[in-house]
Amino acid sequence: MTNNICKQITIITESALEHRLTDDIQRLGAHGYTITNARGKGHRGVRNADWSTSSNIRVEVVCGASVAIAITEHFKEHYFENYAMILFTSDVEVMRSEKF
Amino acid sequence: MTNNICKQITIITESALEHRLTDDIQRLGAHGYTITNARGKGHRGVRNADWSTSSNIRVEVVCGASVAIAITEHFKEHYFENYAMILFTSDVEVMRSEKF
Amino acid sequence: MTNNICKQITIITESALEHRLTDDIQRLGAHGYTITNARGKGHRGVRNADWSTSSNIRVEVVCGASVAIAITEHFKEHYFENYAMILFTSDVEVMRSEKF
């Protein structure tokens, strides 16, 4: 149970992508993800969540640096062109990092 | 498609302020925002979300440093005195930063 | 109203723990917390939120460094062994820090 510096990736995007993204996230090596429903405004106009088909999701992944690069590059290549998506990363200190 | 260091502003406040805050955020130069419903306890006692009128919201904005200062100063001047509001910022590395 | 560097603790865990954790958080010295409902996949398999009894919560606490250590150590000792829980921390700059 040591602390480790990991990457936190936050992705805000269309909820219709949820299953594709979570499949990708796991296949690319992350051990978990957290999703919350969100609403907001971005590049492509106002979106209202509350489980409508046009809602947004906020996906969080905490993982090692190499997995973070793999996820980021994959999303950049496959989604950024055709979907409303924001992705940003930061460093976090993870307790019980063996879970990630 | 380069990465950029941006500011992430997180605001936790009364949901009744949502429209005023999002108007401010856009007018002060941010290109987007994300809102999730929240509950919690802070300065002014326990709040329960779930869409009641006393619920809280968690507003996230990712923007450049100068816009972050403008938003922070505006909120400090106009809301901190009279509303339950917490605001904090951190640095994030944004992919596809041209969206912000 | 000065800015202060504080610790942001993010805990993602089983919603059944909500009341125990928020009691702990306050007793250990934090002045507030924010909770959002979440779903996700982690160490112990897929969890779907939407207010079912097996849902997850995302708990955020912003506090000083010593309180952050107290919370982290307490959760490590009392919950990590027996519950699905992820905990990570990062530094944030807090406006109006007297609230925390």
Which subunits sit against B, judged by 3+ Cβ pairs under 8 A? A, C
Residue of A41, A56, A58, A92 for testing the chain B interface, max B β-carbons within 10 Å: A41
Residue-range domain boundaries for chain C: 4-95
Q: Is the pTM of this model over 0.90?
A: no
Asked if A33 is an interface residue toward chain B (Cβ–Cβ < 8 A), one would say no
Percent of chain B's residues with pLDDT above 70:
80
- Looking at residue C5, its pLDDT comes to 94
State CA C8 to chain mean position distance.
9
- Across the interface, do C90 and B87 touch by the CB < 8 Å criterion? no
Condensed to tens digits (0 to 9), the pLDDT of residues C32-75 reads: 999 999 999 886 555 554 434 458 999 999 999 999 999 999 99
Task: Classify domain B4-94 at the CATH topology level.
Answer: Alpha-Beta Plaits (3.30.70)
- Across the interface, do A1 and C88 touch by the CB < 8 Å criterion? no
CA distance to A6, A10, A19, A34, C98, per residue, from A59 (Å): 16, 6, 11, 6, 31
Chain B residues in contact with C26 by the CB 8 A cut-off are: 41
Percent of chain C's residues with pLDDT above 90:
69
> Strands, E, within B2-98: which ranges?
4-14, 33-42, 45-47, 56-63, 85-95
- The Cα of C94 is separated from the nearest Cα of chain B by a number of Å equal to 4
Cα dihedral B76/B77/B81/B86 (nearest 10): -10
- Across the interface, do C41 and A33 touch by the CB < 8 Å criterion? yes
What is the C-alpha end-to-end distance of chain B, expressed in Å?
12
β-bridge pairing A4-14 and A85-95:
antiparallel
Q: Which amino acid is at B22?
A: T
Greatest CA separation for chain B: 44
Asked if B31 is an interface residue toward chain A (Cβ–Cβ < 8 A), one would say yes
Its CATH architecture, for the domain C4-95, is: 2-Layer Sandwich (3.30)
Assembly ipTM: 0.85
Q: Decide which of 3.30.70.270, 3.30.420.40, 3.30.70.120, 1.10.645.10 is the CATH code for A4-99.
A: 3.30.70.120
Asked if B71 is an interface residue toward chain C (Cβ–Cβ < 8 A), one would say no
Asked if C31 is an interface residue toward chain B (Cβ–Cβ < 8 A), one would say yes
pLDDT at B61 over 60: yes
